[in-house]
Structure 1
Amino acid sequence: MDSQETMVKNLVMKVKQELFSPDFDLVSLVPPSPYDIAWLSMIPNPHRGSDEPLFKGCLDWVVEHQTTGGFWGDDDHVPTIESLTSTLACIVALATWDVGHDAIQKGLAFIHASTEKLLEEQNNSFLEWFVIVFPAMVELAESKGLHVHFSHGSTALVEQVFQKRQQIFQMHRLVQSGGQQQYCSLELMQYLEALPEAYDINLNKTLLLCQSEEDELLIQSPSAIAYAFMKTGRKVFLSKLNSIVKRCGFSVPAIYPMDEDLLRVCLVNRIERLGLAEHFMAEITSMLGQVYRSYISCEEPKSKEKHAMPLQLYKDSLAFRLLRLHGYTVSPRKFCWFLHDEDIMVYIEEHHEIFLSAMYNVYRATDVTFRGESDLEDVKEFSKRILEKETLKDSKNLIKHEIGTPWLARLDHLEHRKFIERKEPVGSWTGKGLSCRLSCQCNAMLLQLAMENYTLRQSMFRNELKELERWSKDIGLVDMAFARQKTAYCYFAVASTASHFSLSYVRLAVVKAAVLVTVADDFFDKEGSMNELEALANAVERWQEKGLDGHGKAIFKALKDFVDDISWQFFKQNGYDIKSSLQDLWHQIFVSWLNEAEWSRNGHPLSIVEYLQVAKSSIASQTILLSAALLLDTPPGLEILKSPQSYPLTNSLMLLTRLLNEIESYQKEQQEGKPNLVLLHMKENPNLGVEESIGIIQKVLDEKKKEFLEQALVINGIDGDDMPKACKKLHLSCLKAFQMFFNSTNAYDSPTKLLPDINKAIYDPLKIDAHGILRKDKTKSLASYGKSQTTCVVKVQGNLRKEFVAKPSFGHEVLSLKLRKPTIFTTFRNSKVHSRSHHPYLTFFSWTREATLHGSNAKGVTIQDTIALCKDNQFLIIHNPLLIGELLVVATPFTVVEYAMETFAKYGSGSSSEGELALETLTFDSDPRFQKEKISNIVFGCGTKQTVMDHWGKEGGNVAGILELGWSPRSLVTHLGSTAQADISVAGTPLRIPPETFLWKRSRGGNHNCLRSSLLVDNIKPAYEILEQALVNRFSRMIGIRPKGVRQGYANLPIITFHLVGADLVVQPPSAYVVKIDQRKFQYFCLAMIPESDGEGVITIGAYQQQNYCFIYDLNRKTLRFGPQDCVKNP
């Protein structure tokens, strides 16, 4: 068992212990709400006068949970719009008890600096809860003597929120016959603490509605209950508050009591969308069993109150989808009832913002529509209309994906990746808090497991694909020039739809069968004569290769070996032989291919019925699937091999896969003179054009999909259906693969369309936002690339502010600025001013601790973030996206650095660099097996002007990177010395270059010239030849990769790793490779390797590794950690 697999197993065990132990309380899945905690902390103790809070633990929680950014919010330290209301409530709570004065000032500073940005992100689409609560918290803070100062740019936005609040109050204000104002409407009851004084006229009358047990759901907001108790002093509210604290402690949620079925479906949904279901099948089954019992207890929800509808629809639609996918028989009536209430539909459309997450799940629930379920068809159109009103960019992108790509065309493995890389699901907001989201602690634990699990799957996929490529080569299929080489395509589709670790043998069998079908089908379509085709079909019937030669013989031999292998594995598992049945299954499709070949070559007239009878067999989906299904733990009965079409589910699969293929391949088959359903339909209906015929076929296809889903998902729900559940799932996986291949285009025959998705599924490491999972104390080294990326620097918005002050011996501070482009800073109080025309955004180079940053306040300009490291009077910029090269890394605790263009570094080969440069000591501590290695005087920086940076001319060029790897005193190689392991790996596979190849001598000739004084790594010829051959071998196996000529270039480059003691330097494409510059023109190429010429020169590959890396200074340990980061997407 390798370390990655061990890690996954350990994390699975950890999740089971923490989330599924017998004493686990589901309520702990709910994140704490700083807003509601603040309100509970404001309640004075009625037994102690007004001198202390009733819930002192809540006040302590507020004091302890302010983030370094000055706000209160979720645990991931990323401010959201909820952070505004939470921060205001928390500083009011602190002011109420005259504590936390520094925290209050930091909170006010956050409000001032961040309100504009957070309001702008809403794109003028503010949710009702925010419109009501935010102004109320501003007014409450002012009443406590706290001056809430908004920036100039945010004033208009804040006024807009206040105006929208007034509109809401006007809409909900009810007037009795005598003109007397009535108590507030039920919809506003959740916001009691945020309502104006006018609504207190009949507050007691209003609160009578929620004092009885049967009406407790009318008010589920702890903050509203806290306010009600402070206003009335009634014991019923105190009892509710005590109940909340008793169950939840002082981490009070936004809603209480919580619907435990809602928590169950949220947890199951999270686990499944992260791709972790196979590890928790027993737990999922148990939870869904409880949800099912509640779901069927009543056909419609007990309460249809408008304020409760978003959560109710969210839960019921999500429960329906999960239950149906797991084989339960459930009715959609539970969440479709509102379609028959016109007033409710109008209400949802008018308040579409608060129904966004509910409608998102309603729309997803329609993915599993069965025959005759017209309500699901109607609710799909309605929910789609609501979703299309969304304006937030992130949500729009997810909705576009959901609506634009049918569920059946989305591959599970890639969907898992998308969900892992996405920080938030759509529409988390449903009320005053994140009531549909799991706690950050739970999310972080599951996300960490999902990342490791996905990485382990990719490793498994790569190994399986290598095995299949080797198999395809060994049996001679790759040598058949006429055939489509689709091993990688087939494996990608299979692995991405049936990705469970336990299905390895099944995956391999499906792909082998699919490759055999593709090659044999092409032989019948393009290559073979009628005599050769008849001979091959007869050989398959006899199961003897006599009379075959050439390609026909090779195809038969490959088929025979495959059938023998499947039969032997089945015999070992089940104890009886199925070879003859498997032979019959394959003979059926060879007969159908022969029939089609005769039709094409003889011009045989066909009817649609006659054509489909053969065509749905010749698509061979049943042959591919059933050959592999025999290797399942619970295989299907042998009768299905003799007559697949007699089984409803398999017959539906055969028809659907054929129809999908027909719609997207009619043009190709028309050119080749082959029959096609679209063409036949037009022939039988001459008054219809192509689009009309396709539309009719598409309608048939859509209805047949519903029938198929019912057959595949309902367990033992259809008469005579005794197919094992695992085999049904494999049928569904097969249909999803075909739907992906033929979804609006023929991707299977495209040489390039699927390459990006193949790379994402098998090769590309996950791209996780630094804030997506890891906290600032979980920095990662370079050796952990592919698992996570993070940074320990915390950004803050607004003017220059101290985020935190570390106190190591050399006294560094990590700070953050926000630059407004095109601001040119003109004043630096108590500091020296420098001006620079080349980079006007970096006109400051020295700074004192008390300095205040000033700049012009231009309107409508782009904001740029800059991270800075300072020591006493040294102000060191370490990250600014405005700079050339996009990543600037400069820092030195021991060396004074003057930031000016004159800063200069020269290397032994004559190369030089001008720019913002500095020296640093690197400490490699990523591998716990070794002691830390310190390398001193390493040059870092952003070179703005380079000279002689290549080996092909003396003019030089602007190479974006200055990591010295030659023999100069500043060279990394010089400092590494004996710590290097002297080996190179390609795509994770060490090349095992003989150690004597790398001799640490400075000789200029022979095999001793390992490295030359240059920015580029120079390998002597023996090492070069090994590396070159390894790379060429790897590229030749990659789908769609073709050399452009001798040493001219490749695409889809692999990772190259240089192994050092204590750390591995992982070089990611494209940062690893060179841009050649000469006097004539720029020549861009992805990989450059130059061989020796007449015993002179060197062997060179490009390696300027600084591009797209994040360098993190550990101020406590005085070490540098580094790892990859996309500096364009994460500036």
Structure 2
Amino acid sequence: MPFSVSGGILCSQAASVVPGSNVETKAKSSALAPFFPQCVNWLLDNQLCDGSWGLPNRDPFLVKDALLSTLTCVVALKQWDVGEEQMNNGLFFIESNIAAATNEKQLSPIGFDIIFPAMIEYAKNLDLNIPLGATNLEALVHKGELELKRGYGSNSEGRRTYLAYVSEGLGKSQNWEMVMKYQRENGSLFNSPATTAAAFTHHKNSGCLEYLCSLLEKFGNAVPTVYPLDIYARLFMIDSLERLGIGRHFREEIRSVLDETYRYWLQGKEEVFLDTATCAMAFRMLRVNGYDVSSDPFTRFSQEDHFSSTLGGYLNDTGAILELYRASEIIIHPDESILEKQNFLTRHFLRQELSNGSIHTDQLNNILAKSSLNIGNKDFLKLAVEDFNICQSIHREELSQLARWVTENRLDKLKFARQKLAYCYFSAVATLSPSELSDARISWAKNGVLTTVVDDFFDVGGSEEELVNLIQLVEKWDVNVSADCCSEKVEIIFSALHSTICEIGDKASTWQGRSVISDVIDIWLNLLKSMLKEAEWLRDKSVPTMDEYMTNGYISFALGPIVLPALYFVGPKLSEEVVRAPEIHHLFELMSTCGRLLNDIQSFKRESDEGKLNAVSLCIIHGDGINIEEEVIKEMKNFIASKRRELLKLVLQEKGSVVPRACKDLFWNMIRVLHTFYRKDDGFTSDEMINAANAIIEEPIVLNVL
């Protein structure tokens, strides 16, 4: 089983000390024979058809990795004077691809510019003719010198760590006493077979040898680039499965991995805490999944100079910084200043890198995309694509049913109302994508359409008489529609409300085993009355206080009829006591408050032009020393962030919670949808999001496009 080596050393190569490093070119056993002769045979048997060693079907941007792996293997065979045919094939591959060694577009393994020239020099000492050409050789040597001079004179721990990590390229010039300070409990240096083998060659440390022998016992004649990498690899896989949308198919396996990671966390294992990205990912995934983990380990990360003193910091590892940032977002306790500081530092770093052009937004997106596309298993990708397309076919059929429902209820005849079915259903799919949650999606989407119609009715479409009439009809409920409705518009809206609420009530009673229709009616009445109050403020040109506005505004934002009835359809049975519990109301209030403010920030200019007040304009009017639009919006965004964290705390809280996690997740997922809608502008009112909505619902994924 060949493994490609990110450091450029083919982990499965033969070595006088260990398969998996280039150090067999530097050391011999006392009998001048390979320390692990079986690995020489592995080399002879595992050359690829193009003459290289490494991963088959490699990415076109990984030629540097193949060059270094191949040169190492050729030198190894030359050292032991075997495999002349394989050596010649390897040299031909190097000659054919040497231009990639200085190509800046190629992905460069860590330490390549130091290790590759060092290997060339060693090959020359073995009288091995490497067909490079004088120009290429000069360019490679120059790059190596520049890399060694980078940070020269600096006393930074990050530079020392880096030089220790690339020890196989420094040989006798290395300070091996300094290198051994990085030895881990398992005997390795950085969990790297290559670096560990180089250290043993020069330092003869027994711990290094025990680590190397343990790898051979576990993996046979080919060892991985980094070991152990179990925790990081498994967490990365879980993150990938979740981002691919198929995590629900692996619940038992995911729980098993998280349980093991939690045990390691409690035991303070190096595998979790020594690597920045692993520690941050473990913290985030454990906490999000309900495990009780402290943020104390982040104390060292919150020191401004800590990350720069690590290997990742010296190499400007944006991926590790991004993991720290994502972890620092999971603040659920009031005394977690450590995470707040980490959030500030990482956010500042990422913004600075974006502003100075060191990284670009698409690069950050690509880093995140790696965890959903580059998971190294085509079976998972195939499953994700098949799952998506199956769900999408169900979603398309549901959307067609909803379109017919709109027509049958004559909602399309209301010319004042925005037609936002696609948006409403898109938010339902984004929040409730599994195929088995059809009832929840239908309820969500229908109520989304109706809240949009009612909002426009109270805003521009209805007279005062019609607004009051609609509320009275809902309060009475069992009415004579033809006699009690004061207009055709009221008749259409009330009839649609009545039939939809009854339908949702009937379906919910099947899920819940009790009648919930009165609860759904109450939800709608609260919304209608809040919208009437806003209409009265506008009519009377009243200027409410901020407290008055927000107390009413989080309800009038109209998420109640969308989210709350959907709780009945996600699985758990909810008693009347749970539904009426303060916890659900608090979840709803936090979610809706964030949504209201996100909306008001993006719609401020438009609504100001229309003579309407919202949270931004009211803050400016009532501002206590803060009356500039930019300052108000900045303060409002900070307030949204605090409420978002408060909501997350409630969602993750288990002790004392009466609301099932599946229900609480709806509130959190809706917040994520809202941030998507209002990321740039009022995405619900504008048409910019329609392409994304249509693509998710209408365009199947073809695997060979990935």
CA contact (8 A) 2:101 2:140 kept: no
- Give, as a single letter, the amino acid of the residue that structure 2 aligns with 1:469: A
- Per-residue deviation at 1:536? 0.6
Matches within 5 A, 1:989-1004: none
Structure 1 residues 58 and 497, CA gap change in structure 2 (3 angstroms) = farther
Deviation by residue 1:707-759 (Cα, 9 ceiling, x = unmatched): 1111122223xx5x3111011101111111222112231011112x1133123
> CA separation in 2, counterparts of 1:729 and 1:115?
53
Give the 3-state SS of the residue equivalent to 1:674 in structure 2: coil
Aligned length: 686
* 2:342 matches 1:379: yes
Deviation by residue 1:1039-1084 (Cα, 9 ceiling, x = unmatched): xxxxxxxxxxxxxxxxxxxxxxxxxxxxxxxxxxxxxxxxxxxxxx
CA contact (8 A) 1:465 1:491 kept: yes
Matches within 5 A, 1:237-386: 237-256=208-227, 258-298=228-268, 312-340=275-303, 343-348=305-310, 351-353=313-315, 355-370=317-332, 371-384=334-347, 386=349
> CA separation in 1, counterparts of 2:182 and 2:309?
23
* 2:89 matches 1:71: no
CA contact (8 A) 1:352 1:386 kept: no
**How many percent identity over aligned positions?**
28
Deviation by residue 1:749-797 (Cα, 9 ceiling, x = unmatched): 112x11331233223343xxxxxxxxxxxxxxxxxxx23259xxxxxxx
* 2:644 matches 1:732: no
> CA separation in 2, counterparts of 1:729 and 1:626?
12
Give the 3-state SS of the residue equivalent to 1:251 in structure 2: coil
Which structure is richer in relative contact order (CA contacts within 8 A, separation 6 or more)?
A: 2
- Per-residue deviation at 1:280? 0.7
- Per-residue deviation at 1:516? 0.7
- Per-residue deviation at 1:288? 0.8
Give the 3-state SS of the residue equivalent to 1:576 in structure 2: coil
Deviation by residue 1:841-893 (Cα, 9 ceiling, x = unmatched): xxxxxxxxxxxxxxxxxxxxxxxxxxxxxxxxxxxxxxxxxxxxxxxxxxxxx
- Give, as a single letter, the amino acid of the residue that structure 2 aligns with 1:379: Q
Matches within 5 A, 1:473-552: 473-543=407-477, 544=479, 545=481, 546-548=483-485, 549-552=487-490
Task: Give the structure-1-normalised TM-score.
Answer: 0.56
- Per-residue deviation at 1:190? 4.2
> CA separation in 1, counterparts of 2:691 and 2:612?
31
Aligned partner of 1:700 among 639, 643, 650: 639
> CA separation in 2, counterparts of 1:530 and 1:500?
42
> CA separation in 1, counterparts of 2:614 and 2:398?
35
CA contact (8 A) 2:4 2:10 kept: no
Residue 140 of structure 2 is matched in structure 1 by 158
Give 1 or 2: higher strand fraction.
1
Residue 793 of structure 1 is matched in structure 2 by none
Matches within 5 A, 1:175-186: none
CA contact (8 A) 1:189 1:219 kept: no
CA contact (8 A) 1:626 1:641 kept: no
Residue 466 of structure 1 is matched in structure 2 by 400
Which stretch of structure 1 is more off in the superposition, 511-520 or 694-703? 694-703
Structure 1 residues 385 and 113, CA gap change in structure 2 (3 angstroms) = farther
Residue 58 of structure 1 is matched in structure 2 by 39
Residue 623 of structure 1 is matched in structure 2 by 561
Residue 621 of structure 2 is matched in structure 1 by 683
- Per-residue deviation at 1:525? 0.9
CA contact (8 A) 2:240 2:372 kept: no
Give the 3-state SS of the residue equivalent to 1:339 in structure 2: coil
CA contact (8 A) 2:600 2:616 kept: yes
CA contact (8 A) 1:644 1:650 kept: no
- Give, as a single letter, the amino acid of the residue that structure 1 aligns with 2:249: H
> CA separation in 2, counterparts of 1:620 and 1:163?
64
Residue 118 of structure 2 is matched in structure 1 by 136
Gaps of 5+ in 2: none
Residue 685 of structure 2 is matched in structure 1 by 749
> CA separation in 2, counterparts of 1:247 and 1:238?
14
Give 1 or 2: higher helix fraction.
2
- Per-residue deviation at 1:578? 1.4
Aligned partner of 2:191 among 210, 220, 223: 220
Residue 1107 of structure 1 is matched in structure 2 by none
* 2:173 matches 1:198: yes
- Per-residue deviation at 1:134? 1.9
- Per-residue deviation at 1:156? 5.9
CA contact (8 A) 2:276 2:320 kept: yes
- Per-residue deviation at 1:323? 1.3
> CA separation in 2, counterparts of 1:56 and 1:508?
66
Give the 3-state SS of the residue equivalent to 1:134 in structure 2: helix
Matches within 5 A, 1:938-977: none
* 2:693 matches 1:788: no
- Per-residue deviation at 1:37? 2.1
Structure 1 residues 656 and 285, CA gap change in structure 2 (3 angstroms) = same
Structure 1 residues 336 and 61, CA gap change in structure 2 (3 angstroms) = farther
Deviation by residue 1:658-684 (Cα, 9 ceiling, x = unmatched): 111111112222233333111111111
- Per-residue deviation at 1:569? 1.3
- In our comparison, the structure showing a higher alpha carbon Rg is 1
CA contact (8 A) 2:595 2:671 kept: yes
> CA separation in 1, counterparts of 2:330 and 2:704?
34
Deviation by residue 1:52-83 (Cα, 9 ceiling, x = unmatched): x4434433433344444443333442251322
Deviation by residue 1:523-547 (Cα, 9 ceiling, x = unmatched): 1111111111111110011113351
> CA separation in 1, counterparts of 2:229 and 2:648?
30
CA contact (8 A) 1:507 1:628 kept: yes
- Give, as a single letter, the amino acid of the residue that structure 2 aligns with 1:221: S
Gaps of 5+ in 1: 1-27, 175-183, 404-414, 425-437, 767-785, 791-1131
Deviation by residue 1:330-389 (Cα, 9 ceiling, x = unmatched): 22232342323x653543599442533321211222232345533223223433455554
Give the 3-state SS of the residue equivalent to 1:604 in structure 2: coil
- Per-residue deviation at 1:655? 1.3
Matches within 5 A, 1:714-725: 714-716=653-655, 719=656, 721-725=657-661
Structure 1 residues 117 and 37, CA gap change in structure 2 (3 angstroms) = same
> CA separation in 1, counterparts of 2:649 and 2:338?
16
> CA separation in 1, counterparts of 2:293 and 2:588?
24
* 2:566 matches 1:584: no
Structure 1 residues 641 and 601, CA gap change in structure 2 (3 angstroms) = farther
Deviation by residue 1:172-224 (Cα, 9 ceiling, x = unmatched): 999xxxxxxxxx9676444443223334xx86x6798799x947244633224
Deviation by residue 1:1018-1043 (Cα, 9 ceiling, x = unmatched): xxxxxxxxxxxxxxxxxxxxxxxxxx
Deviation by residue 1:534-561 (Cα, 9 ceiling, x = unmatched): 1111001111335114121111111111
> CA separation in 1, counterparts of 2:237 and 2:551?
46
Give the 3-state SS of the residue equivalent to 2:226 in structure 1: coil
Deviation by residue 1:620-647 (Cα, 9 ceiling, x = unmatched): 2122101111112114443566687973
> CA separation in 2, counterparts of 1:29 and 1:632?
45
> CA separation in 1, counterparts of 2:559 and 2:136?
60
RMSD, matched Cα: 3.7
Residue 533 of structure 2 is matched in structure 1 by 595
* 2:10 matches 1:35: yes
